[in-house]
Amino acid sequence: MSDYKFTIKLHPYGTAPDAGVIEIDPVALYGYFERRDGSEGGGLWFERLDNGALELVDYDGVSCLAPSVSKALRAAGFIVDADF
């Protein structure tokens, strides 16, 4: 198993400790999202663009990425295609 260093933390469901989180390791180009109640969660995969920005290229764990996750990623400067 990889040793990820999740240095980016976002709160797509609100900042309450029991709400949920997105954490990203920008070096490994991997992250995850989860609701603390277990209702949804999964992995996030990124590619680094020539300008250094990270673009979401894939996810798993749910059939459709929650709008709050996409919105939180975009607000933090990640590139998220409209298909997500």
In the three-class reduction of DSSP (H, G, I as helix; E, B as strand; rest coil), residue 25 is classed as strand
Measure the CA–CA gap between 43 and 39, rounded to whole angstroms.
14
Which neighbouring-strand residues pair with 55? 47, 79
pTM of the full structure: 0.88
What mean pLDDT, rounded, does the chain reach?
91
Query: Does residue 65 fall inside a structural domain?
Result: yes
Token look-up 């609701």 returns 35
1 part of a folded domain: no
Q: Which domain holds residue 58?
A: 8-75
Q: 50-68 pLDDT, tens per residue?
A: 999 999 999 998 888 889 9
* Within-domain flag for 2: no
Q: Identify whether 82 is part of a domain.
A: no
User: Could you give the number of structural domains in the chain?
Assistant: 1
- Calculate Rg over the CA atoms of the chain: 12
Q: What's 17's DSSP letter?
A: T
